[in-house]
Amino acid sequence: MDLDLANKLYHKMLLIRRFEEKCVEMYSKEKIRGFLHLYIGEEAVAVGVMHALSSEDAIFATYREHGHALARGIHPNRIMAELYGKQEGCSRGRGGSMHLFDAATRFYGGIAIVTGGLPMAIGMALSDKMMKRNKVTVCFFGEGAVAEGEFHESLNLAALWHLPILFVCENNLYAMGTALEFTQSETNISLKAASYRITSKQIDGMNVTEVAESSEEAIAQIRSGNGPVFLECLTYRFRAHSMYDAELYRQKSEVEEWKQKDPLIRLPQDWSDINIAQHEEEISHIIDEAVEFAENGTLESVDDLEKFIYSSEVAR
Amino acid sequence: MNSTITYREAVRHAIKQAMEKDQRVFLMGEDVGHYGGGYAVSMGLLEQFGSERIIDTPLSESAFTGAGIGAALGGMRPIVEIMTVNFSLLALDQIMNNAANLLHMSGGQFNVPLVIRMVTGGGKQLGAQHSHSLEGWYAHIPGLKILTPATVQDAYDMVTLALADPDPVLIFEHAMLYNNKGLLDTKVIPLSIGKAKIERLGKDITLITYGASLFKALEAAQTLSDEGIDIEVIDLRSLRPLDDETIMKSVAKTHRVMIVDEGWKSGSISAEIMARINEQAFYELDAPMGRVCTLEVPMPYAAHLEQAVLPQADKIVAMAKKIMEK
Ligand SMILES: Cc1ncc(C[n+]2csc(CCOP(=O)(O)OP(=O)(O)O)c2C)c(N)n1
Ligand SMILES: [Mg+2]
């Protein structure tokens, strides 16, 4: 870690924070509709993990994936346009907030069925192994996913087939309004992964340095052919599950405590030379441009509605 | 090849040829390797291709079906075998939420060239959790293609067609057909996906069917012909897309319609076909349409009960006569 890298990571985390704050504003103005799951508070996880990847690696994420998409390098303009439902969006307005996709950066969603992305990530890693490509597949999911059968089926296959895959569990303690302790007999998730003989580690998901370094180690291990790795990142979402909820399921004091660990506060504590004001300035331009781009985007013709069901009909 | 073989051998031969030709093709599913396949389709393939391309999976329908989707996205041409359609319900999330939706959800960026084969249908006294015909259900889903090979030729051709298709294709192999013998000519150009085939020309009634019911329909048609009723039998081959054109042309010729479908009546593919005829050829009809479907009960075990539940040639004959009276 050096100042350059610290600046880079800080920039990405701040971009996600400000981008999503703008999303909230645009949601209130009814420019954005549907579900909108914010990543605010959890930025260090996506930014730290993406730092360790190459452009050849593949990513599967969940419905809470604005942060992952931005950290991976999908242009903010295209993400905002997607949230606006515009044709210039990264999924042509067909996906929305929960279904961001991008072939260029190998971003495979945006899968909004809890655990639904894991089996596909397994298959992607399997294809890399069969074709002898030295690529890694990364799969993000919340701790809620651990209760699903697909989670256990997938971990077993990854270990059994010795696949080049990194599992990243974003343990923010709640699945919607249900705390982990109400749903799991064993709340240490990394232990469950270890029981499948997967190298697994619990880390501080609020500390981007730790996430980045653990991810680098994990990716190196995977690339050298040593099979899957599982990172349980302890983190917290500062906002409601989706845009609004009454947050009856947790204490305000708990939220405040976690806010003290904000990754955007944490990183500059170690790197006091990060020029926060300059990052703010740059990012505010990026966000303004994204909004303008989305505002000026086109609404796809309704005549094209039935395209994209079968490949033969796709107007590429 | 131009010889008489079984339906099972035809599927196996197609998989074998595809795997010899294309390194991207592989087969995975429960017991496809060491056991030779729940219905012995893949017998011998493990020995030829090895365990890296004939993959025995754990009992994890959702994960290995999803893995097929992921591998397809990664450039492979996987064939996923699900032992029977009943178990595919554990993989429904992957089939519907991912395979069928990805192309659209991604705005056209990610197609899924995946083939899923599964066994369907009753007649073997396997009871209510191993005998149902749910292909009509799957045909409800935009983004999927649903194939129902009835003949030995189609058992072979449809594997080839499905592997060449850029989108997810589900092939439903009826359990009662595996031992059927027929002619396979690997040199003929296969009839494409979405094309129905007129298996018997006739002028009095258009009988629309698919899968194993085809043979009950042909048997009934033979009986009826002795009584002077001339049945035109259409094998749909594909439930999605449906070949409206072939159906409507035949209706315009015979003006009478019956459908034989091993699915249940309510919300079935037979209901869909009737609705389309109603929309597209209503004024061609001389009589109300009729259909013979599986009775609306879970499949019973006892032989006589199971046979009573399924469509049969005698029920088809009776229905045809009723339609002719009107
Ligand atoms: C299979 C399935 N069941 C239920 C839901 C509804 N749902 C959406 S998010 C969510 C909570 C998931 O929590 P977690 O996995 O911890 O992720 P987080 O939202 O905390 O990031 C639920 C129940 C769903 N999308 N998919
Ligand atoms: Mg959670």
Through-space distance between the first and last CA atoms of chain B, rounded to whole angstroms: 47
Pair B167, A311: CB distance under 8 Å:
yes
pLDDT score recorded for residue B56: 97
Length of chain A: 316
In a domain, A220, yes or no: yes
Strands A174-175, A178-179: pairing is antiparallel
Q: Do B57 and A102 touch (CB under 8 A)?
A: no
In a domain, A107, yes or no: yes
Given A121, A131, A149, which is nearest B70 (Cβ)?
A121
Q: Which of A43, A64, A98, A114 to mutate to test the pocket of ligand 1 (most atoms within 8 A of CB)?
A: A114
pLDDT score recorded for residue A61: 98
Given A89, A127, A307, which is nearest B71 (Cβ)?
A127
Ligand nearest to the CA of A140: 1
Residues of A in contact with B145 (CB under 8 A): 310
pLDDT at A313 over 90: no
Task: State how many domains chain A has.
Answer: 1
Show pLDDT as tens, one digit a residue, over chain B (326 residues): 899 999 999 999 999 999 999 999 999 999 999 999 999 999 999 999 999 999 999 999 999 999 999 999 999 999 999 999 999 999 999 999 999 999 999 999 999 999 999 999 999 999 999 999 999 999 999 999 999 999 999 999 999 999 999 999 999 999 999 999 999 999 999 999 999 999 999 999 999 999 999 999 999 999 999 999 999 999 999 999 999 999 999 999 999 999 999 999 999 999 999 999 999 999 999 999 999 999 999 999 999 999 999 999 999 999 999 999 98
**Structure-block tokens of residue A188:** 């240490």
Which residues face B147 on adjacent strands? B171, B238
- Cα–Cα distance measured from residue B46 to residue B215, given in angstroms and rounded to the nearest whole number: 33
- Cα–Cα distance measured from residue A62 to residue A110, given in angstroms and rounded to the nearest whole number: 5
Check pocket membership of A143 for ligand 1, CB cut-off 6 A: yes
**Structure-block tokens of residue A102:** 């991008």
Residues of B in contact with A122 (CB under 8 A): 63, 66-67, 70
Query: What mean pLDDT is predicted for residues A254-267?
Result: 98
In a domain, A308, yes or no: no
Interface of A with B in 32-71 (CB under 8 A): 58
pLDDT score recorded for residue A316: 53
Check pocket membership of A42 for ligand 1, CB cut-off 6 A: no
Which of A130, A132, A148, A304 has the most B C-beta neighbours within 10 Å, making it the best mutation to test the interface with B?
A130
- Single out the residue of A184, A284, A192 nearest to residue A230, CA to CA: A192
Coarse DSSP helix, strand, coil percentages of chain A, rounded to the nearest 5 percent: 45, 10, 40
CATH assignment at residue A19: 3.40.50.970
Q: Given the CA of residue A180, which atom of ligand 1 is nearest to it?
A: 16
What are the tens digits of pLDDT across the range A118-168? 999 999 999 999 999 999 999 999 999 999 999 999 999 999 999 999 999
φ, ψ dihedrals at A102, nearest 5°: -160, 110
Check pocket membership of A175 for ligand 1, CB cut-off 6 A: yes
pLDDT at A197 over 60: yes
| DSSP symbol at B53 | T
Ligand 2 centroid distance, CA of A15 (Å): 22
Ligand 2 centroid distance, CA of A236 (Å): 8
Q: Which DSSP string corresponds to A246-309? A: --TTS-HHHHHHHHTT-HHHHHHHH-TT--HHHHHHHHHHHHHHHHHHHHTPPPPPGGGTTTTS
Ligand 2 centroid distance, CA of A189 (Å): 12
Residue type, A139: C
In a domain, A88, yes or no: yes
The model carries a pTM of: 0.95
- Cα–Cα distance measured from residue A146 to residue A187, given in angstroms and rounded to the nearest whole number: 10
- The answer to whether residue B63 neighbours chain A at the CB level (below 8 Å) is yes
Interacting residues of A226 by C-beta distance below 8 A, sequence separation 6+: A199
Give B285's Cβ-side CA count (13 Å radius): 18
In a domain, A18, yes or no: yes
- Cα–Cα distance measured from residue B10 to residue B190, given in angstroms and rounded to the nearest whole number: 14
Give the strand order in the sheet containing B205-209: B197-200, B231-235, B205-209, B257-264, B290-294
Domains along chain B with CATH numbers: 2-185 (3.40.50.970), 197-325 (3.40.50.920)
CA trace torsion B25, B28, B33, B35 (10° rounding): -140
Query: Chain A to chain B, count of Cβ pairs less than 8 Å apart?
Result: 149
In a domain, A266, yes or no: yes
Residue type, B123: G
* Residues of B marked as catalytic: 61, 130
pLDDT score recorded for residue A253: 97
pLDDT score recorded for residue A244: 84
Which residues face B184 on adjacent strands? B3
Check pocket membership of A114 for ligand 1, CB cut-off 6 A: yes
pLDDT score recorded for residue B322: 97
Pair B291, B259: CB distance under 8 Å:
yes
Q: How many CB atoms lie within 10 A of CB A183?
A: 14
Distance from CA of B167 to the nearest CA of A (A): 6
pLDDT score recorded for residue B173: 98
- The answer to whether residue A302 neighbours chain B at the CB level (below 8 Å) is no
Domain containing A67 equals 3-293
